[in-house]
Amino acid sequence: MSELLELEGRIRACTDCTLSRTRTNAVPGEGPENPRLVFIGEGPGFYEDHEGRPFVGAAGRLLEQLLAGIGLTRDQVFITNVVKCRPPENRDPLPGEVQACRKYLEHQLRLLRPQVVATLGRFSLGHFFPQETIGRVHGRPRQTGDVTIYPLYHPAAALRSSTVRKALEDDMKRLPAVLKESGLAQAGMQPQVTSAESTTQQLKLL
Ligand code: URA
C-alpha cells in the first residue's frame, strides 16, 4: 500500500479532535499520487461529509467549471482541505481543530510534492501565510522552497459575490502560466512566459 493510502486510512480513523464525534465521514482528499497541482479548501461541508469526498457540492461544481475553463478535469489535480472533518453547521474551523489537522496536510504535501499549491479561501491561505489577507494577495503566486503557493478566493465565496467570482475567474485563467513558470523555477531556469496560456498549451503542461 502506498504511504498516501496509509495516511488516508489514518485520517479516516482519526479521533484527535472533537469534529470526529459529529462527522459522518472524514474527507482525506483525492487525486493522483504525483500531481503537479494541489487545491486546498477549508473543510468538508454537508455533501462532502456524506460522501467522504472533497468538493462534491455547489462549490465543487464551480471549481470543476473553472478547471474546465483552463482545460483541466478534477482527476488531474489533487483536492484536499485544511480540516478533514466537517465543522457542525459549516461553522469556521476552530484554531484547535486546524492545529490538530495540520500534521495531515503537511504529510500529504510532503508525499505529493506538487509544483503549485492553489489555496482556496482564507483558512487555506492561513496555513502558509497566517499574516496575509486574501483580498490583498489573491492571484499573486509566491515561491516557498520548491513549491509555488497561488492564493485564490474560495469558490463558495464566489457563489455569494459576483465581484469575488470575477476575481476568482481571472486568477484561475492565470493558473496555467503559474504552473509553467513554477516548472521553470524548479528546473533552475528563468521564467519566460508571464501571460495566460492557450488551452491546448495548458493540456501539455499536466
Ligand atoms: N468547501 C471546502 O472548503 N471544502 C470542501 O471540500 C467543500 C466545500
Tell me the per-residue pLDDT of 73-124, one tens digit each, with 9 for 90 and over.
Answer: 999 999 999 999 999 999 999 999 999 999 999 999 999 999 999 999 999 9
pTM, two decimal places: 0.91
CA distance 141 to 155: 18
Ligand 1 centroid–CA 117 distance in Å is 16
Atom of ligand 1 nearest to the CA of 154: 3
Atom of ligand 1 nearest to the CA of 123: 3
Taking residue 140's Cβ as centre, other Cβ atoms within 10 Å add up to 13
Q: Which helix (H) or strand (E) holds 175?
A: helix 175-186
Are the CB atoms for 98 and 130 separated by under 8 Å?
no
Ligand 1 centroid–CA 189 distance in Å is 35
pLDDT reading at 194 higher than 90: no
Q: What is the mean pLDDT of residues 22-33?
A: 98
Atom of ligand 1 nearest to the CA of 42: 3
Atom of ligand 1 nearest to the CA of 121: 3
Among 131, 126, 140, CA closest to 174: 140
More confident residue, 134 or 201: 134
CA distance 201 to 206: 10
What is the DSSP-derived secondary structure letter of residue 30?
A: B
Ligand 1 centroid–CA 187 distance in Å is 33
Domains parsed from the chain with CATH numbers: 3-173 (3.40.470.10)
C-alpha grid cell for residue 139? 492571484
- Ligand 1, CB cutoff 6 Å, lining residues: 41-45, 48, 54-55, 57, 59-60, 81, 156
pLDDT reading at 173 higher than 90: yes
Confidence class for position 190, pLDDT limits 50, 70, 90: low
Cα atoms in the Cβ-side hemisphere of radius 13 Å centred on 115: 19
